[in-house]
Amino acid sequence: MTPDLWVLLALVGLPFLGAAAVPLVYRILGERTAYFAALVALACLGLVGLLYGTEGAQSVDWVPALGIELRFYVDGLALLIATLASGVGVCILTYSGGYMHGEPGQPKYYATLLAFMGSMLGVALAADLITLFLFWELTSLTSFLLIGHYTTESSSQYAARKSMLITVAGGLFMLVGFVLLHAVSADALGSATWALAGEGSMLENAGAMREALESEGLFVVVLALLGIGAAAKSAQVPLHIWLPNAMEAPTPVSAFLHSATMVKAGVYLVGRMRPLFLPADAHPGSLELWTLGFAALGLLTMTVTAILAVAATDIKELLAYSTASHLGLIIAGFGFAGHLGAETGAFHILNHALFKATLFLVAGIVAHEAGTRKISELGGLREDLPITAGIAAIASLGMAGVPPFNGFYSKEFLFHAAWETGAASGGLYYLIPVVAVFGSVFTFLYSIRFLMLFFGEKPDELGHVHSPPVAMLAPPALLAALAAVVGIGGITGTFDVPLGPLEEFVGSVMHAVEPAGAEETSFHYYLPTTVTPWAIMSALTIAFGAALYPQYGRLHDGIRSLLRGPVRANWWYDTATEELNPTSTAVRDRVQNGLLRTYATWVAAAFAVLTFAGYVGASVDVPVPQEPATYLPLALTAVVLVASVTVFGDLSLRVATTVAGVLSVLALGIFAWAIFGLGLTPAELATQPPVVFVLALAAVAGIAVSRAPSHIAGVLTLSILGFMVAIFYILRDAPDLALTQLVVETLVLVIFLLVLDKLPAFYGGWDRGRMARDGVLSLAVGAVVTTTVLVTTAASPNEESVIARGLAEASYPEAGGNNIVNVILVDFRAFDTMGEIAVVSMAALSIVTLIALRERGETR
Amino acid sequence: MATEQLVVAPLLVALVTAILTLVVHRYVRAQKAVSALGGVAYVGAVAMLIQRVRSGAGSHGVEGVLTYQLSNWGAPFGITLVADDLSAFMLGLTAVVSLLALAFSILYVDEAGQRVSYHPLYHFMLVGVTGSFLTADIFNLFVWFEVMLMSSYVLVVFYSGPRHTKAALQYVVLNLVGSAFMLLAIGGLYSTTGTLNMADMARRLADPASFGITLAPVLGLSAVLFVVFALKAGIVPFQWWVPAAYRAAPAPVSAMLAGVVKKVGIYAIIRLYFTVFANAAPMDLALPGVVGESTLAFFGPVLFIMGAASIILGGVAAVNRDNVDDLLAYSSIGQVGFIVIALAFAAGGVVAGWQAPEPYGSVAVLGLAAALVYSLNHALAKAALFLASGAVYESVGSIEFEDLGGIAGRMPLLSAGFFVAALSLVGIPPLVGFFGKFLVFDAAVNAGSNLGIGLALLGAILTIAYVTRAWNRGFWGERSEAVEQATPQYGLFATVLVLAVVALGVGVAFDPVVEAAIDAANAALETGDYIEAVGLEDSLTSDGGGH
């Protein structure tokens, strides 16, 4: 039976609506908003209840153009996570009613928690990759806000930023994986899809997807990208480092997000993707690429973080590392092929949520009532908190994996799967079961240590510990009772009276994470009745643990003494984030040094390089004029230039005279060559001198500017250059241009003279290196511009197609004007002129503004 | 005919508003009212134009490409304005940002400043932006660039303090150098191809033999022009003016500069390089690292390198800035880098003809759509953030992080707006920023660019780093003295919130937006339609079939 769409939408939407209503509700109910939120969660739990017994996908369009849907899918795995999110949510929100009494920022707290719950339900039910990503990131975001709940604490800020950096960045890696999957699905399914589960989805065509991934060489890449996303979210080594810091959040948040639900998202992803990457014929013990990746990652995390938990000094820190460790266990379970792996993961998700959420709530009671979370300051709490001690006993023995408590059974499955895998491949692979036992010994150790908070001597400093309010006691009691029921189910199961509904449910989860076509196995759990390698592994774990426990203090100190420098993943994170700040400033200072000179240099250089590359790339022929007469003015100009350098340069009289003599001879030679060699008539020659004179004078002025002794002299010489250009225009029959140039030159000269007074007379010395660099650069820019002019003036598009011709033809008959320049300006392209008029008026406005607002800016 | 005249409407509305605000500047209230009405009318004109273009109205029988000949002088002789899906997309984002920044200005800029010149300059800037998005004439483009430059120059120097003057000087010098380059390129292109009209140029470049054109110089000339556009877009190594100018300008102007004016550079790259130069007949390119015979084979790698450098420089430099505006300015450099690498993928797609899944069909379309959606995201989010920075300044009296702290508790509405906009920058769904990042990733994947994927990831992580740092320093933490004594400016907060809500709304209702972006990308690549819609004539004289 397929689920109803409205139930799914209501389920995911309700918490968000609730969150939006919180500010209003808080005005009416005050601190009792907790119970309003718990009611919302309860309603969600009820809606999840309606989904039991259904399976299948439902969707509504979101971005139809891209084939993106809000698509939901219900199966065992989805129901398990959804039940945890809403069920644990009810407990947590109720508990918050007691715990958050008198705390700041409550409306924000409840709104964010509800929004988180909605996001988590979304993750559980999403069956479209983009829908999944949407809710995935929303869980990271709400987690960020909740970790930073105590906004003034710098440790909260540190923790929130760390979690955001790691989980959101991990999510982006996952997104790339999703995009790759989408691209591959085009080949595998005929048309690209974002649908993960349901009709026409990737999971339904897992075989084809796997083939396409392999044939395109993307199998490992996608696996790695999804793995990074899952590892970041589920705190797998070495990305586990954000989780212990996340304990800065209020304890209910730690219990809810950072143990029972949000951190399960990564695990969920691994479970969800398992049927896509595991071949259908995978069986317990078979060694797939998937297994190598995830079993290794999971076992490594399980062991490393269990060891770190033993080194913890704070009860929440201990529980945080323990959470990472158990998530590792689940990942390892899902990593193992076949039904054993599936059983491990599926069952441990449930068991872990039950005992860990309980323990966090217990830790909250301890911290709240005893006023400290330091392990060394706590002990003998049983006297003051008898009920809490009972609850803690059930949960921590489950965590330790002691029969018949709930955690024992799922750990037994792990041992079984590890053993099968090790035995099937033999040799070094026997390390797999060895590591599993090794890591579990530490799990046993810290679990017992946590339990011992309630036993032994009560330190004198502790004083009287109050009993917690019912709102804080009932939720952990309920969760512990459920954990106990699971444990009892194992005992009765041993006598063939299994806990039917539970086994069926876990079986459905298992089915969801098994590849289609895998051998159907039903799920049963019970206490070992025969001697098997995995039963021995369990026994060894407990035996070693019990033997080592008296040495706990030495172990604790020993591990702590090893945790220095680069051994810690935190060292890498802290170094990277701390080094980023000075690096950032160094980069900024080096690049943006505030000097216009640097900026202009780079702009000019980049211009020259890019343009030059463009010309070279297209193999442009630089047209060299063939007519010798062209060179005459150039040659003469060069002669005058050299002469002027001699005159303006700091050369001795003798050198200058010599150069002048040589140049005179050279000039005479050129004239002689022109007349006799090229056969130019003196009449032709007569047209040259004015041009030569004008250009030479302009060039001389250009040089003189750079050698001018004062600003005034510089500006005056500069204006010589400008006037020479104007005369050049006249010689070349462009009186309009000349007029414009003359006006501009005159104005510039006047303005310069007015302003120069205000400038310092002397700027400082010359740097030869910089001068050389600037010289080279200006030559390069000049060369590129010259090339551009030469190349483009040589181009000759067909005469009749050039638009100038059309404009000239139409100038009088159509626009009624004889001067084509005027007609273009005021008619053909009057629009341009309008824009330029705007520019001119703004220039006037700018002067008004600068004068009117002068000095006002000091305050900004 | 009425439909075609609508093309010039947004430009005229802005121009008339600019002039009217100048005329009534003695009456402050009237001036504000005229300015605000003009802003609303602009949005209305743009909305009508978009509606017409999207509903398929067109010129010369081409659906969705409206052209308008100024003074009815036929193309290519007169100046042509073209409104197609690409122009419509850019005008749409301009309209949204400009109206909100204007509303913010009226509440924020001091009375004296508003009276002197603020409103005319603001609307002139809008004129320049609008003209740039609409024109189909490269010299006319130069004119609008000048209008934009002149108005933005005065707006940068607006407060006229030493810091503002220095920033404005650098801004104007670098951009004037750019203008000189632009004139050089336009002159060169004119003498090489014999036309200024973009459609005509595209037509001639495709068939150089018929028009007696030598193609070889076009690559170098387009490189000169590229420098100008890169300078406008503020990408490395042309980013120099960005930080100081954004820091100096009044907050709403920074919002416009970062949100809209920068995008003019991006638009110009798309329009000229994808619509016009990419249409050129194949040419032999002999450069290392350049594979292909299209101009885009040259610009693809260039875009990629510049985009990569922008992402890294902007992202790294933004992390440790001392005040909000500096951080946002460097962030702009990095964010535009994302847009530019998407263009690089598109260029690669055009050259190699890579396919992409429906609805894109090709990597070229996907890359351009990614660039456009990212531009929209950056316009909305960065504008919201600059306005938020202005709102903080007006309320608290400082935007130096050392004076801030605990704003979230003191001014939750403003903080919510800032937070949402910052998340859009990071790319959190369902904000529009998510789709920007997502499409960039999709383009990188379909272009097979592993380096591109790595870069985009690095850039995104840097974004998280600086956004969270800003949040922790300014909005969380101990409430500073200044924040404690702040006077919240709720009118300003409202504009920030509206932009944040738009960023959310565009993401939630993303379908029409992505369709518009894909159509815009197709419009940019379908040079044939562009040429046909412009309706090139052979002569202006009546016997030649013209006027």
Partner-chain residue, chosen from B169, B191, B223, that has the shortest CB–CB distance to A611: B223
pLDDT for residue A258: 86
Q: Which of A517, A549, A581 is the endpoint of a domain?
A: A549
Question: What is the nearest CA distance from A226 to chain B, expressed in angstroms?
Answer: 14
Q: Which class for A626: exposed (0-12), middle (13-18), buried (19 or more C-beta within 10 A)?
A: exposed
Contacts of B505 (CB under 8 A, 6+ apart): none
Contact at 8 Å (CB) between B49 and B9?
yes
For chain A, the distance separating the N- and C-terminal CA atoms, rounded to the nearest angstrom, is: 67
In this complex, the residue of A583, A621, A835 whose CB is nearest that of residue B143 is A835
Domain boundary among A505, A526, A549: A549
pLDDT digits (tens, 9 = 90+) for A338-376: 888 899 999 999 999 999 999 999 998 998 888 888 888
Chain A: residue nearest B221 by CA? Answer: A611
Residue A650's pLDDT is 60
Chain B residues closer than 8 Å to A792 by CB: 187-189, 191-192, 217, 221
Contacts of B189 in chain A (CB under 8 A): 792
| Average pLDDT over every residue of A644-673 | 65
Residues A859 and B1: their CA atoms lie apart, in Å, by 52
Query: How many residues in total does chain B contain?
Result: 547
How does residue A688 score in pLDDT terms, banded at 50, 70 and 90?
low
Is residue B150 within 8 angstroms of chain A, CB to CB?
yes
A246-294 confidence digits (pLDDT tens): 988 888 898 888 888 889 999 999 999 999 998 888 888 788 889 989 9
The whole-number pLDDT of residue B546 equals 42
Q: Identify the residue whose tokens are 């909005």.
A: B475
CB atoms within 10 A of CB B60: 13
Asked, for residue A564, whether it belongs to a domain, the answer is: no
Residue B359 phi, psi dihedral angles, 5° rounding? -90, 10
Task: Please give the backbone phi and psi of residue A70, each rounded to the nearest 5 degrees, phi first.
Answer: -85, 95
Q: How confident is the model over B80-110, as pLDDT tens digits?
A: 999 999 999 999 999 999 999 999 999 999 8
- Asked whether residue A516 is assigned to any structural domain, the reply reads yes
Instruction: Express each pLDDT in A293-336 by its tens digit.
Output: 999 999 999 999 999 999 999 999 999 999 999 999 999 999 99
Which range among A37-51, B278-292, B506-520 shows the weakest confidence by mean pLDDT? B278-292
- Residue ranges of A 533-592 with Cβ closer than 8 A to chain B: 577, 580-585, 587-588, 591-592
Give me the pLDDT at residue B8, please: 95
Are the Cβ atoms of B240 and A854 closer than 8 angstroms? Answer: no
| Cβ atoms of A81 and A135 closer than 8 Å | no
Task: Give the single-character DSSP code of A238.
Answer: T
Please indicate if any CB of chain B lies within 8 Å of the CB of A800: no
CA dihedral sign, ordered A676, A679, A684, A687: negative
How far is residue A410's CA from residue A340's CA, in Å, rounded to a whole number? 10
Q: Which residue has the higher pLDDT, A697 or A45?
A: A45
Interchain CB contact of B198 with A (< 8 Å): no
Tokens representing B39? Answer: 């802003």
Domain-located, residue A462: yes
Nearest by CB to A157, which of B358, B446, B476? B476
**Above 70 in pLDDT, residue A161?**
yes
Contact assessment for residue B335 and residue B382, using Cβ atoms and an 8 Å cutoff: yes
The angle at the Cα of A730, spanning A725 to A731, to the nearest 5 degrees, equals 95
Residue A689's CB is within 10 A of a number of other CB atoms, namely: 12
Q: Is the peptide bond before B237 cis (omega within 30 degrees of 0)?
A: yes
pLDDT range class, residue B1, cuts 50, 70, 90: very low
Chain A residue with minimal CA distance to B431?
A: A134
- Point out the least confidently predicted range of A246-250, A621-625, A751-755: A621-625
What is d(CA B438, CA A175) in angstroms, rounded to the nearest whole number?
Answer: 8
Contact map slice: B 227-286 vs A, CB within 8 A = 227, 231, 237-238, 240-241, 243-244, 250, 283-286
CA distance A171 to A166: 8
Using CB atoms, pick whichever of A164, A592, A603 lies closest to residue B177. A603
Which of B459, B505, B344, B317 shows the shortest CA–CA distance to A172?
B459
The pLDDT, as a whole number, for residue B423 is 95
pLDDT in tens, B24-76: 988 989 999 999 999 999 999 999 999 999 998 888 889 999 999 998 899 89
Closest Cβ opposite residue A857 in set B161, B464, B542: B161
Confidence of residue B545 (pLDDT cuts 50, 70, 90): very low
Least CA distance to A156: which residue of chain B?
B477
- The string of DSSP codes covering B469-520 is HHIIIIISSSPPHHHHT----HHHHHHHHHHHHHHHHHHHTHHHHHHHHHHH
Q: How far is the C-alpha of B108 from the C-alpha of B253, rounded, in Å?
A: 11
Which DSSP string do the residues of B281-306 spell out, in sequence order? Answer: PP-----TT--SSSHHHHHHHHHHHH
Taking residue B449's Cβ as centre, other Cβ atoms within 10 Å add up to 19
CB contact under 8 A, A617 and B437: no
The reply to whether A827 touches chain B by the CB within 8 Å rule is: yes
pTM above 0.90, yes or no: yes
For residue A379, being part of any structural domain is answered with yes
The pLDDT tens digits of the residues spanning B4-19 come to 899 999 999 999 999 9
Would the pLDDT of B170 be above 70? yes
Return all residues near B27 (Cβ < 8 A) that are at least 6 apart: none
pLDDT at A426: 82
From the list B212, B227, B357, the residue facing A183 with the nearest CB is: B357
A828 part of a folded domain? yes
Q: Which residue of A has its CA nearest to B408?
A: A151
Give the residue on A whose Cα is nearest the Cα of B153.
Answer: A846
Q: Which of A791, A822, A825, A833 is nearest to B189 (CA)?
A: A791
Quote the tokens at residue B433: 């920023």
Res. A762 pLDDT band, cuts 50 70 90: low
Give the domain range for residue A485. Answer: 279-549
Q: Is residue A653 part of a domain?
A: no
**What is the pLDDT, as a whole number, of residue B332?**
96
Q: Which of residues 323-382 of B touch A (CB under 8 A)?
A: 330, 357-359
Q: Which helix (H) or strand (E) holds A72?
A: strand A68-74
Q: How far apart are CA A208 and CA A187, in angstroms?
A: 9
- Residues 121 through 140 of chain A touching chain B, CB cutoff 8 Å: 130, 133-134, 137-138
Cα B180 to its chain centre, rounded Å, is 21
Q: How many CB atoms lie within 10 A of CB A729?
A: 19
The per-residue pLDDT for range B355-405, each reduced to its tens digit, is 988 889 999 999 999 999 999 999 999 999 999 999 999 999 999 999 998
pLDDT for B439: 96
pLDDT at A630: 64
Read off the pLDDT of each residue in B223-238 and give the average, rounded to a whole number. 95
CB contact residues (below 8 A), chain B span 72-101, against chain A: 73, 76-79
CA dihedral B439, B445, B449, B452 (to 10 degrees): 40
Provide the domain count of chain A: 2
Q: Which two tokens stand for residue B311?
A: 């992402």
Spatial neighbors of A552 by CB under 8 A, at least 6 apart, are: A310, A445, A449
| Least confident among A568-577, A714-723, B108-117, B292-301 | A714-723
* A661 has a pLDDT exceeding 80: no
Q: Is the peptide bond preceding residue B76 cis, with omega within 30 degrees of 0?
A: yes
Q: Which range has the worst mean pLDDT, A714-728, B82-96, B346-360?
A: A714-728
Spell out which residues of chain A touch residue B542, defining contact as CB-CB under 8 Å: 813-814
Q: What are the structure tokens assigned to A6, written together?
A: 């409205």
State whether A587 and B316 contact (CB < 8 Å). yes
For chain A, the average pLDDT equals 87
Region A43-58: mean pLDDT is 92
Position A697 scores a pLDDT of: 74
Shortest distance between the Cα of B343 and any Cα of chain A, in A, equals 18
Query: Which of B162, B445, B477 comes nearest A152 by C-beta?
Result: B477
Per-residue pLDDT at A763: 64
Residue A505, in any domain of the structure:
yes
pLDDT of residue A657: 62
Looking at per-residue pLDDT, the higher value among A455 and B93 belongs to B93
Least confident of A396-410, A701-715, B145-159, B230-244: A701-715
Q: Which of A532, A549, A566 corresponds to the end of one domain?
A: A549
The 10 Å CB-count burial string (b at 16+, else e) for A568-592 is: ebbeebeeebeebeeebbebbeebb
- Where does the pLDDT of residue A682 fall: very low under 50, low under 70, confident under 90, or very high at 90 and above? low
Question: What is the per-residue pLDDT for A858?
Answer: 47
Query: What number is the average pLDDT over the span B210-230?
Result: 93
Per-residue pLDDT for A664 more than 70?
no
Q: How confident is the model at residue A655 (pLDDT cuts 50, 70, 90)?
A: low
| Residue among B110, B91, B97, B1 at smallest CA distance from B45 | B91
Bridge partner list, A61: A69
Q: List the single range of A384-388, A405-409, A630-634, B417-421 with lowest mean pLDDT.
A: A630-634
B504 touches chain A (CB under 8 A): no
Residue A611 located in a structural domain: no
N-terminal to C-terminal alpha carbon distance within chain B: 16
Taking CB atoms and an 8 Å cutoff, what residues of chain B touch A787?
Answer: 220
Q: Show residues of chain B in contact with A165, CB under 8 Å.
A: 461, 464-465, 468
Q: Buried (b) or exposed (e) across B348-376, using 16+ Cβ within 10 A? A: bbbbbebebbeebebbbbbbbbbbbbbbb
Bigger pLDDT: B295 vs A771: B295
Q: Is A190 exposed, middle or buried (0-12, 13-18, 19+ CB in 10 A)?
A: exposed
Band of the pLDDT at B544, cuts 50, 70, 90? very low
Secondary structure letter of residue B15 according to DSSP: H
Task: State the amino acid at position A855 in one-letter form.
Answer: E
What pLDDT was estimated at residue A660? 61
Cα–Cα dist B146/A835, whole Å: 8
The more confident residue out of A763 and A505 is A505
Looking at this protein, which amino acid is placed at residue A768? Answer: R
Whether the upstream peptide bond of residue A23 has omega within 30° of 0, thus cis, is no
Task: Give the position of tokens 């948040």.
Answer: A253
Contacting A residues, span 345-384, partner chain B, CB-CB under 8 Å: none
- Token representation of residue B406: 């605990």
User: Residue B428 corresponds to which tokens in the numbers above?
Assistant: 């959190």
pLDDT of residue A775: 86
**Six-digit token pair at B423?**
């998340």
**How far apart are the C-alpha atoms of B9 and B38, rounded to whole Å?**
12
